[in-house]
Structure 1
Amino acid sequence: MAEPIVIEGQRAWLKHYGEGSRAVALGLLNFVARRFHLDALRPPPHRGGAGACGIEARRLLELKAQGVHVPEVIGQGDTVLVLEHTGDSFNACLRKADMAGRDRLVGAAIAAIAEAHRNGAYFGQPLPRNMTWDGQRVGFIDFEEDPLEVMDQAQAQARDWLMFGYGVARYYDDRPQALEAMLAAAMEQAGKPVVEHAHAVTGRLRRLARMLRRAGKSGRALAHAILVVHGASTFGFVVLAVLCLDLLGDGELDLFDLIG
Structure 2
Amino acid sequence: MTDSLSLPHAAPPAPAGAATGADYAQFLQQHLPQQSFNVVRYELPGESVWLKKAGPPIAAWRYRALAVAARVLDVPVLQPVINPGGREALATEVRRLRDLHARGLRVPQVLASNPDGFLMRHLGKPGMPSPSLSDEIEAAARAAPQETLPLWQQGFAAMQLVHARGTCLSQAFARNMVRCPDGVIGYIDFEDDPLATLPPALCIVKDALCYAHSTALFLRNAGTLEAARTQWHSWLAQADPAVQSAMDRTVQQMRWVARLPDSRKLGRDVLRLRAMHGLLQK
TM-score (norm 1): 0.81
| 1:1-260 superposed matches below 5 A | 1-21=38-58, 23-87=60-124, 88=130, 89-97=132-140, 98-135=144-181, 136-174=183-221, 175=223, 176-211=225-260, 213-214=262-263, 215-231=266-282
Distance (whole Å) between structure 1 residues aligned to residue 229 and residue 116 of structure 2: 40
More off after superposition, 86-95 vs 192-201: 86-95
Seen in structure 2, the aligned counterparts of structure 1 residues 50 and 28 have a Cα distance that, compared at 3 Å, is: same
Shift of 1:171: 0.7
Pair 188,65 (structure 1): closer, same or farther in 2 beyond 3 Å: farther
Sort the Cα spacing of 1:43 and 1:207 in 2 relative to 1 into closer, same or farther, 3 A.
same
SS in structure 2 at match of 1:173: helix
CA RMSD of aligned residues (A): 1.9
Contact in 1 for aligned 2:97/2:108 (Cα 8 Å): yes
Q: Which runs of 4+ in 1 moved over 4 A?
A: none
Number of residues of Structure 1 aligned to a counterpart in Structure 2: 231
Deviation at residue 209 of structure 1 after TM alignment:
4.2
Residue in 2 aligned with 1:244? none
More helix by share: 1
Query: Gaps spanning 5+ residues in structure 1: where?
Result: 232-260
For 1:229, the aligned partner's letter is L
Cα drift, residue 23 of structure 1: 3.4
Output the CA distance in 2 between the equivalents of 1:227 and 1:31.
Answer: 26
Amino acid at match of 1:116: V
Partners of 2:275 and 2:135 in 1: CA distance: 21
Give 5+ residue unaligned stretches, structure 2: 1-37, 125-129
Specify whether residues 57 and 212 from structure 1 end up closer, same or farther in structure 2 by C-alpha distance, changes over 3 A only. farther
Moved more, 178-187 or 146-155: 178-187
Q: Is the 8 A contact 1:17 1:53 kept in 2?
A: yes
Q: In the alignment, is the contact (CA less than 8 A) between 2:55 and 2:86 conserved in 1?
A: yes
CA contact (8 A) 1:173 1:220 kept: no
Distance 1:213 1:125, change over 3 A: farther
Q: For 2:242, give the aligned amino acid.
A: P
- 1:104 Cα offset (Å): 1.6
Aligned residues of 1:2 and 1:16 also touching (Cα < 8 A): yes
